[in-house]
Structures are given as C-alpha cells and as structure tokens.
A and B are shown apart, each in its own frame.
Chain A
Amino acid sequence: MLYFSKLRIVSVIVFTVIFSYFAFSNFIKFDDKFFSKNINLGLDLQGGSYLLLEIDNRPVITQKLQAKIIELKRYFKEKQITLKNFSLKENTISFETTNNEIENVKNILNDKESDVNTYYPTYKSHEFDVLEDGNLFSLNYSRYGLVLLKNSSLDQAIEIVRRRVDEVGTNEPNILKRGNDRILVELPGLDDPNRIKSLLGKTANLTFQFISQNNEESFGTEKLSFEDGSRDAIVSKRIILSGDNLVDAKPTMNSQTNETVVSFSLDRVGAKKFGKATSTGVGKQLAIVLDGKIISAPSIREPIIGGSGQISGDFTFQSATDLALLLRSGALPAPLNIIEERTVGPDLGQDSIDAGILSLFIGFLLVILFMIYKYRAFGLIANLALVSNLFLLIGILTLFEATLTLPGIAGIILTVGMAVDANVLIFERIKEETKNEKNPIIAFDAGYTKSRTTILDANITTLIAAFILFFMGSGPVKGFSVTLGVGILTTLFSVYFIARLLTSLYVVKNKDKEQLL
C-alpha cells in the first residue's frame, strides 16, 4: 500500500494542482480563456427571490367543457341525432337522448376514430370518460385527458411567465416547470419581488365589450364593476375584440388631455373587427375589460379603422408601463397563485457569506491545530490532505458550476470535521500494528490495508444519506447534500492518494527512527 510509481505521483500532483486552480479561479480572476467557470451562489447567498406558482386550472376546465357542449350539440345535429337537456355540473357534462339513439351515441363517443372524443393511443384512453345510465349520458375528463389539458395550459403559461419576467429585465432568471401545474421562478439578485409578483398575479385577459343600453342584467349581459370600485355597469357578453389580437402596446402621453395612456396596435384581423364594431357602434360606450374589471368605458365618437387605439383610465406612468407590458406579453391561460415565496435581501446574503467563510476558517483552524496536537508530523500530513481536500471539493463544485447555498457551506465545514476520520482510522490502526511489527514499512502497510473496509463502510453510509437528501431535498438543502456527497469523494481521494503518498515518502525516509507515529 505504500508503493507509488513515478507516474502515479505525477498524476496525483497534476490532478490536485488542476482542481486547486479551478478552486482559486473563483476568488482571483486569472483572465483565462480555457477556464471561466464559477460556483453559482444560491439565492440565499446572493439575495433574490424564489417563487413557486400554481396554475388554477378550474376556469380552463370550465371553459373547455362549455366549448365541448357547443361542439357536441353541433356535431350531433349534423348527424341528425337529437340530444337534449344539456347541463354542466361539477365538471361533468350530461345530456339525454332518445331511447332508440342510445347505442348510436354510445358508439360515436367510444369509437377510437371519434371526432368528438379524441382517442390517445399512447395512453390507451379517450379524452373523456363516458358513463351512460339509460338515456342519460355523462362525460368527464379522463385521467389522461386532464393531464394533457394541464400540460398544454402549463406550456402556455410558462411561455407567458417567461415573457413577462424577461420584459422586466432581471438578470438571469430561471424559469422551470414543476410537475404538471406548477412553475418555479428564480430571480437572482432581485431585492424586491413585488413588481414581478403583481405582474405574474394578473391573468391579463383583455376584452372590449359594449356597455348595454339596458339597466337590468339579462340574458347575454353581465354585471361588471369598474377597476377603482366606484360603480358597476351592465356589459354585453359579446366580445368585440380580445388581447389576442394585440401586436403591440406601450405607455404614451395623450397630448390633449395630458394623461398617461396605453396605446396599442392590432393585427389585421383585429383591426378589421375593431373597425366594423366601432362603425356600427358610434355613440355607444365601449368597455375595456381586464380580468373581469372595467378599466374605462369611453364613448365611441367615430369609427376606429386604423387598427390602433388608446386605453385611458387614471394611470400613473408605472401602472401604464405595467399594463402595456402585460398586454404585450399576452394573457395567461389561467390564473396563477404564488404558493411559495422565499426572498432574501442582498445584504443578508452577504452577511451569510461572511459568516459562512468566518466559520469555515475557524472550524478549519481548530481541526488543523487539534490534528497537529494529536499526531505531530502525521497531523501535518493529514492537514495537507485536508487542505487539498478543500481545494478539490471547491474545484469540483466549480467545474460542475454547482450552486453553493448557506447549508452547502455548512456541508463543507462538516466535511472538514469528518474528513480527518479516515486518516485517524488509518493512523490509529498503524499505532496498533507497530506494537507487534518492528519494521515500520510493514506496519504502515498493514495499517492501511486493514483499515480499508472500515473506511469504505463508514463513508458509504454518509454517502447514502447525502444521496437521499439530494433526491428528496429542495433548494438550499440540496446544496448541502451536494457538498456533503462530493466532500466524501474528495476525502477518499485525498486520504488514499495525497496523504498516503506523503506518508510513504515520510516513512521511507525515516524508517530507522524509533516510534514514527
């Protein structure tokens, strides 16, 4: 165990030097073309916001089911099959058919080629589960139908979220899917997430609807309140135009009224629709509705045919900018709720880094002093191994651009404390062996060989804990598992290559001395 070939000695040195270089490149800028990687600092260290958003798919499901009812009615009408008493309750569509059509309807709905109930061969499932009880049919989203619906709504939402976050212009945001109805948004360096939170909290569903002439709510109209809560108005349910037709929106100053407004331009289809509606509706009030609230309801004085217009309504420059941003980035398919938020201010992050480095330094010093006190020359060897272990650990974290968190720093300090264990096991074993074996080289060799399985066992147990933590843990805790796990590997390397090499050099040189350890 004590013999090292020249090649091996050189590779150990080269390996250690390279990773130490990686480690140092975090602190000193070498201006290097070959290696420009850094450890990422977690949000808890550099400051920033972590937001977990959940899509509320209920309105999407209701909308889709309503659309499905219309589709079913139309489809069966074409087939000249009468369906009646359609209803939508608790996400279930139900309808009745005449007794002699039951089989027919059933076949259409359960057909693998069905046009109204799509079959997904990969999932071996239809979009809807069909239940029939006599002439009463009920349709429910099947498990996979629901999964597909959620996935497509998540895909749309993540795109919109990305656009909105990009528009605000934070540095390197991280936007990821989580499951099939969640989005994780990480915003490093962002001190105050309020603006982003309020931007993400809005669905931004923009519609233009006429204000009804009647003062009573009736079929085809709905009662909506104004944004400022001052009053309500009865609005026609017919949507003249929606935000989908917008191609641009920006905050501008209306030179006549000296008000901040949001001016928008429409695509060709939108311009046509808008022109037609405004020319037939001169004199009427057009409500501009955002997420079910009326922003303003200007009277139409003349047809607007140019495909552009303005939205006014007590805006500050900031709120007009935000509305324009929301309109440009498009509407979310469903509302998003922030179900988890963690924000750390940058000065707290810096404090954490300082405290982490201070405690690393002190912990390191204490362990080093203790080892020298206990083992003298061999303590020094163990310490050299410990120092290179630290460099290797940081070097590897740098190479993989791992994210360092505050618990991650704790993991490094803990590694420092536990890393000497392997050398202690070896040294203690050697001490025992020297009692019966006078030749130090044989005793040292035996010490290394006999302690090997114990060291492996002991480290594998910690590695198992680190692995499980890595797969089960989240955020900062994951950072801990990474440093702990990588720390075990670098510890084994530093013990079996660096410390063993130094030990062998020392022992061979001093083999005639009495009591080496």
Chain B
Amino acid sequence: MNNISFNKFYRKFNILSLILIVISLVFLIFKGLNYGVDFKGGTLIELRTTDKTNNISLIRDSFNQMNLGDVSVKKFGNETDFIVKFEKQNSNDPEFIQNIKNKLSSSIGEIDFRRVENVGPKVSSELLKSGIIAISLSLAAMLLYIWIRFEWQFSLGAILAIFHDVIITLGLFSIFSLEINLSIVAAVLTIVGYSMNDTVVIFDRVRENLRKYSDIKIFDLTNISINETLSRTIITSVTTLLALLSIYLFGGEILKGFSLAMILGVIFGTYSSIYIANPILVALNVSQRTIVKEEEKN
C-alpha cells in the first residue's frame, strides 16, 4: 500500500488553493467571462474559404465594412477555416445572413458558411439564466444527497471542494479569455459530478476507518484513507483524462473548449478531494463520536 504523507502539506496546499481562488474571483469580478453568442447574443459564422491567400485581417476588414458592431475573427482548425463573431443579429430581416454572404463573396471570393449561429438578446439572456440555474440546482442536489448520506461535516467538505473546482476552472477561463458557451455549462456540471464522485469515494473510506480505529486522530486517519484509495483515485483520473485528451486532440474544434474545461475540472477535482475536502474534516475535528452520534439518532 502507498504511504505518502499527504497530511503534511494540508496547510501549504490550502494556502495555495486560497490564493488560486482569490485570483480567480478577482478575474471573474473585474475581467469577467468571455461569453460566446449563446449567452451574449449576436452572430457566429464558421466559414471556409476556397482561396488560401485569405488571411484573418482580410476577412476582418471585409466584415468591418458591413457595420455589424464588434467583429472578431479567429482561425478555426485548418488554414481555410475561420470563426467570425459579431454583435449584430437581425431577427427581423430573414435575408440578413444571405446578404452578408453575398457581400463577402464579392470581396474575398467564394466562401462556404459551414455553421451559422444567430442568437437574439432575449434568448441569450434566457440561456444564461437557465445555465446558472442548472449549475446552482446541481450544487443544491449534490448538497442534499451528501447531507442524506453523510454527516454535515462531510457535506461541508464536499461542497467546498466542488466550489473550489468550479471557481478555479471558471477563473482559468476568465484569465485566458476562453469562450463560455452552452457546452461549458455541461462541462461544469460534469465536473461537479466528477469532483463529488471522487470526494465521496475517499469520504466513504474515512467513515469506514472512523469506525475501525477509535484511537487514530482524524489528521492521520484522513491520510490513511487517502492512501488506501490512492491507486483508485489515480487510475480513474488517468482513464478519464485519457478519454478527455482523446476528445481534445481528435474530437474536432467544436469540442475543444468543452474537453479543456473537463480536463481542468478532473485535475482540480482530484486535487480538491485530497487537499480541500479532507483538511475540512480535520478542521471540524471529526471523530468517531461524530458518526456514532449520528447513527444513534437514526
């Protein structure tokens, strides 16, 4: 069995986590998130040019002439593919997209619109709202579940670990200006599930060991439990990361943001199960009496 003294570094990593959370919150509050058209409204066009000499600035210039508000152009995968995003969306003019296409073909040659997303302001604010509700609801559901299954000290530890993962993942998205769209919400929810899953496995072991050893202090008991479940923790994160890496590298451009968020989430989720959830049990001074008292009540 492994015998690594994880508990020696509780304090150091807690400070690191705290710093990361503060940095993330500062970025989230002052820089904010880079919302995609799903949440901000506007138009997204994925286009493919036939002329390989077309570059970003040429395409940006052509779009800028059309008076569409703030235009952003980015390469998307290979050199003939671009993603263009702009603020304007026109729901009253059904020929809006067609007109853009016509103007564009006359200035930069034949192009193909491979994907068009046009989201009005009402829909985007609704999507944002339901995204926030979905994430809050899942946090609440997790809290409820773990509250039923464990004692409150455990619930607090698990929930703080999840908050830690979600805040830092979103913080990284803010720092690197990565786009937040509907699939990122799905990724965040899955991260919540995964992080919880990982924490629950260790907590189950902590509880089992609390019953087994009455003379070991929680500080060492968490360390024993982490070590006992360590190979599982590593193997599962490795296989999950292998699958996610495969999506990131080969799954196409559209899934890149989603798989990146998941990869970050799995890494932080695994880390937080060890270094956030467990230290909280220590801080709350959980002992055999904590679980025995609860069981007597039932």
Residues of A near any B CB (own CB < 8 A)? 44, 52, 54, 194, 197-198, 200-201, 337-345, 347-348, 351-352, 355-356, 358-360, 362-364, 366-367, 370-371, 374, 406-407, 409-410, 413-414, 416-418, 420-421, 424-425, 428, 432, 453-454, 457-466, 468-469, 472-477, 480-481, 484
Contacts and interface: CB of A to CB of B under 8 A. Distances in A.
13 contacts: A341-B116, A366-B246, A417-B240, A418-B239, A425-B201, A428-B229, A428-B231, A454-B205, A468-B138, A472-B130, A472-B133, A473-B186, A477-B185
A252 B205 CA distance: 80
A343 B251 CA distance: 20
Contact of B193 (A54, A360, A409, A461): A461
Main secondary structure of the interface of B (DSSP, over half): helix
Contact of A339 (B91, B95, B182): B91
B238 interface: yes
Main secondary structure of the interface of A (DSSP, over half): helix
B134 A468 contact: yes
Contacts of A481: 186
Contacts of A366: 242-243, 245-246
Given A464-B145, A465-B189, A457 B204 contact: yes
Contact of A359 (B186, B251, B262): B251
B98 A477 contact: no
B174 interface: no
A244 B116 CA distance: 36
Interface residues of B, number: 73
A454 B142 CA distance: 15
A468 B189 contact: yes
Given A338-B94, A407-B258, A420-B235, A356 B251 contact: yes
A201 B91 CA distance: 9
B113 A359 contact: no
Interface in B125-182: 127, 130-131, 133-134, 137-138, 141-142, 145-146, 149, 182
Nearest to A468: B138
A339 B122 contact: yes
Contacts of A425: 201, 232
A358 B248 CA distance: 11
B190 A465 contact: yes
B134 A472 contact: yes
A201 B185 CA distance: 32
Contacts of A465: 138, 142, 189-190, 192-193
A412 to B, nearest CB: 9
Nearest to B138: A468
B97 interface: yes
A464 B182 CA distance: 18
A473 B134 CA distance: 8
A465 B141 CA distance: 8
A338 B36 CA distance: 19
Contact of B254 (A337, A352, A453): A352
B255 A407 contact: yes
